[in-house]
Amino acid sequence: MAQAHAGKGAEIVNSDQGCQFTSAEWIEGVGALGAQASMDGKGRWRDNVIVERFWWSLKHEDVYLRVYATVSELKAGIEAYIRRYNSWRPH
């Protein structure tokens, strides 16, 4: 469970109904931060399609094609990919 940040946090935490978000530990942790858990319908492809497609593109167009020797190289490579993705790639 993430640490609470200083100041006012989120009142509602939205998630899907995957097992990691329906566990008692997750629900209690969200409540301990002063928020309420809210879940969308389970298994709807629309919920995550944009994010899933982005991660697929990142993996297949960059990460799998390069051999990053260190975490810092991987981080720099991903940051460069995201800059390219957001600036030249048609969406």
* Segment 53-86, tens digit of pLDDT: 889 999 999 999 998 999 999 999 999 999 998 8
Q: What is the mean pLDDT of residues 36-54?
A: 71
Residue 37 domain-assigned? yes
pLDDT for 3 equals 45
Number of domains into which the chain is organized: 2
Residue 59 domain-assigned? yes
For residues 52 and 79, membership in a common domain is answered with: yes
Q: How many CB atoms lie within 10 A of CB 32?
A: 10
For residues 52 and 72, membership in a common domain is answered with: yes
pLDDT for 34 equals 85
What residues make up the domain containing 36? 12-44
Question: In this predicted model, what pLDDT tens digit does every residue of 3-21 receive, in sequence order?
Answer: 444 445 668 776 656 655 6
Residue 2 domain-assigned? no
For residues 57 and 28, membership in a common domain is answered with: no
- Over its C-alpha atoms, the chain yields an Rg (Å, rounded) of 17
